[in-house]
Amino acid sequence: MIKRMSVVTSSALVLSVGAALADPSDSWGEGFGHMMWGGGFGMVGGLMMLLFWGAIIALIVFAVRGFSAGSGSADKPDAADILRERYAKGEIDDEEYERRKAKLGL
């Protein structure tokens, strides 16, 4: 318990010394300054960050869609193929086959 108290006390001391050494009269207009006011990018930097991450996410989405679009959609049979397959298996008779074929316009 005493060791923990000494760690907390020394951490508080280090942080308070750092705050005491800060120069409150420092002008933000000189040098790099503060990001939101002085020489930083401010709002433009924030917008550019949003645009950058938006573009990265959009590229990932388009890449995933592009790679997954060609995986099996070309092998999907159409109605005529299904009709011929059902006729070949004997699931439908000649009359049903001709009626459905005429309805499909084949």
Distances (CA, A) of 35 to 24, 39, 51, 70: 17, 7, 19, 46
Tokens 């996410």 belong to: 57
80 pLDDT higher than 70 = yes
Label residue 78 by pLDDT band (50, 70, 90): confident
31 pLDDT higher than 90 = no
pTM attached to this predicted model: 0.35
